[in-house]
C-alpha cells in the first residue's frame, strides 16, 4: 500500500483532502490525523473490521481499549448513558481539549473491539482544527489511539507516523508538530470521586477547580489496572533509558563512566551537557521527538535527568518513567 502524507492547513486542495479522508474512513480504512496531544490513527468506531485494522497496524494487544473522538459535547452524548453531572461540567470546561472521559456507553453503540468488551468507553473532543474539520465532515465517532507502533513513543509529527506506518495505512494528514506532545488526561467518571487513570496536560488541580476532589489512580492502593493499557511497556526508544537526578556533577560522572566502556551516551535534559555524545532538550512538547531522535543515532544508552517535578510535569515524568521502565542509573 502507498502511504500518502498530505499537508492540510496551507493546502489549496484542502477540501479534496478532507473528502479523501472521509471516503477512506467510511470504507473501513485508516487515516492518521493530528490532534493537540499526539497524532491519532483513526477508524470508524462503529465498524469492527475497521477497528481491527488499528490493532493490526499498531501490533496493539486486544485488551487495550481505544479512545473515541467526536466533534462536540452533543455528539458525545449520543453515545453514552447515565452521564454524571460532573462529566457534563468537565465537557463544558475542558472540551475541546486534552481530556478523555470514561463513561458508560450505550449498549451496542461501538464495535466491541473499541472498548475491549468493557461496558465503558473513553471519549474526547480534540482541540485541533484538522481533527475537528475531519470529525465534522465524517459524522462518525472515530476510534483513534496514538498512531505509533505499539510500545514506541507516540508520534508528535507526521514524519513519526510515516516512519511507523509507511506501507500500512493509505493516508496521513500532516498538521505539523502537535502543541502538547503527550497524550490526553484520562479521567474515569464511573466512580466517585472520579479517578485519573492517565495523567496529562490537564492536571488534577485543573480538574478539582471544576468538579472538586479527584483521585490519582497511582495513589490508590492495591488498584487493579483499570486503564488496561497502563500495564504495558510504553514509549521506549531502542537504547535503554536510565533516569538520573538532575545534578551536573552526577550526570557528568555518569557520562564519563559510560564512555569509558567505549559506549555512546545521549542526555535528555533541560540543561545542555557538552560531554555527552548526543544532547536533546527535555520538555513535555519534545519528549517523544527526542526519544525518536535517539533511535536515529548510534547511541548505546540514554540518560534522562529528573528534577523535582512541578505540577505541569507530572504527565511528562509518568511517560519518562515508563520509557525508562523505572530504571535509575547507578
Ligand atoms: O491524547 C490522546 O488521548 C491520544 C490522541 C490520539 O487523542 N489518544 C490516545 O489513545 O492516547 P490510546 O488508545 O493510545 O490510549 C488509550 C488509553 C489507554 O491507556 C486505555 O487503557 C485507556 O485510554 N482507556 C480507553 N478506554 C478505556 C476504558 N473504557 N476504561 C479505562 N481506560 C480506558
Ligand atoms: Mg498510545
pLDDT value for 254? 97
How much distance in Å is there from the Cα of 288 to the middle of ligand 2? Answer: 12
- Does any ligand 1 atom lie closer than 6 A to the CB of residue 71? no
Atom of ligand 1 nearest to the CA of 180: 1
Closest atom of ligand 1 relative to the 37 alpha carbon? 1
Q: Please state, in angstroms and rounded to a whole number, the distance separating the CA atoms of residues 79 and 73.
A: 10
Q: What is the pLDDT of residue 235?
A: 75
Cβ–ligand 1 distance for 175 under 6 Å, the answer no
Q: 120 CB under 6 A from ligand 1?
A: yes
pLDDT, residue 13, reads: 78
Pocket test for ligand 1, best of 32, 102, 145, 155 (most atoms within 8 A of CB): 145
Say yes or no: CB of residue 3 within 6 Å of ligand 1.
Answer: no
Residues of the chain with pLDDT under 50: 223
For 214-273, write each residue's pLDDT tens digit.
999 876 655 455 565 566 656 788 999 999 999 999 999 999 999 999 999 999 999 899
Predicted model pTM: 0.94
Residue 231: per-residue pLDDT: 60
Give DSSP secondary structure letters for 96-149: SSSEEEEEEEPTT-S-TTTTTT-SEEEEE----HHHHHHHHHH-S-EE--BSS-
Ligand 1 centroid from CA 236, angstroms: 18
Q: Residue 154 corresponds to which cell in the numbers above? A: 507516540
Instruction: Report the atom number in ligand 1 closest to the C-alpha of 147.
Output: 6
Does residue 154 contact residue 183 with C-beta atoms inside 8 Å?
A: yes
Task: Render pLDDT for 307-329 as a digit per residue (tens, 0 to 9).
Answer: 876 666 889 999 999 999 999 99
Q: Copy the grid coordinates of residue 210.
A: 471544576
pLDDT value for 232: 61
Angle at 53 between CA 51 and CA 59, to 5 degrees: 110
Give the residue, by CA position, lying nearest to ligand 1 atom 32.
Answer: 227
Ligand 2 centre to CA of 318 (Å) is 13
Q: What is the pLDDT of residue 223?
A: 46
Amino acid at each position: 500500500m502507498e502511504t500518502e502524507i498530505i499537508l492540510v492547513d496551507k493546502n489549496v486542495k484542502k477540501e479534496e483532502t478532507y473528502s479523501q479522508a472521509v471516503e477512506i474512513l467510511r470504507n473501513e480504512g485508516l487515516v492518521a490525523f493530528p490532534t493537540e496531544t499526539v497524532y491519532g490513527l483513526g477508524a470508524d468506531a462503529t465498524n469492527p473490521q475497521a477497528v481491527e485494522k488499528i490493532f493490526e497496524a499498531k501490533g496493539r494487544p486486544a485488551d487495550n481499549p481505544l479512545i473515541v473522538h467526536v466533534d462536540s459535547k452533543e455528539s458525545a452524548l449520543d453515545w453514552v448513558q447515565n452521564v454524571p453531572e460532573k462529566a457534563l461540567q468537565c465537557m463544558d470546561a475542558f472540551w475541546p481539549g486534552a481530556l478523555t472521559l470514561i463513561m458508560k456507553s450505550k449498549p451496542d453503540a461501538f464495535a466491541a473491539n473499541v472498548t475491549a468488551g468493557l461496558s465503558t468507553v473513553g471519549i474526547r473532543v480534540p482541540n485541533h482544527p484538522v481533527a475537528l474539520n475531519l470529525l465534522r465532515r465524517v459524522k462518525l465517532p472515530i476510534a483513534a489511539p496514538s498512531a505509533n507502533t505499539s510500545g514506541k513513543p507516540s508520534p508528535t509529527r507526521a514524519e513519526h507516523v510515516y516512519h511507523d506506518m509507511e506501507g500500512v495505512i493509505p493516508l496521513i494528514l500532516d498538521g505539523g508538530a502537535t502543541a502538547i506532545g503527550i497524550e490526553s488526561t484520562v479521567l474515569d467518571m464511573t466512580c466517585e470521586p472520579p479517578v485519573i487513570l492517565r495523567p496529562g496536560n490537564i492536571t488534577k488541580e485543573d480538574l478539582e477547580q471544576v468538579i472538586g476532589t479527584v483521585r490519582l489512580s497511582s495513589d490508590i492502593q492495591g488498584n487493579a489496572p483499570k486503564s488496561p493499557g497502563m500495564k504495558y511497556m510504553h514509549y521506549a526508544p531502542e537504547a535503554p533509558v536510565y533516569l538520573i537526578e538532575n545534578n551536573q556533577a552526577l550526570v557528568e560522572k555518569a557520562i564519563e563512566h559510560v564512555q569509558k566502556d567505549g559506549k555512546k551516551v545521549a542526555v535528555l535534559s533541560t540543561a545542555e551537557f557538552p560531554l555527552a555524545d548526543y544532547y536533546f532538550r527535555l520538555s513535555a512538547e519534545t519528549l517523544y521527538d527526542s526519544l525518536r531522535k535517539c533511535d536515529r543515532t548510534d547511541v548505546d544508552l540514554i540518560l534522562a535527568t529528573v528534577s523535582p517535578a512541578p505540577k505541569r510535569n507530572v504527565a511528562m515524568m509518568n511517560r519518562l518513567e515508563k520509557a525508562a521502565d523505572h530504571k535509575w542509573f547507578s
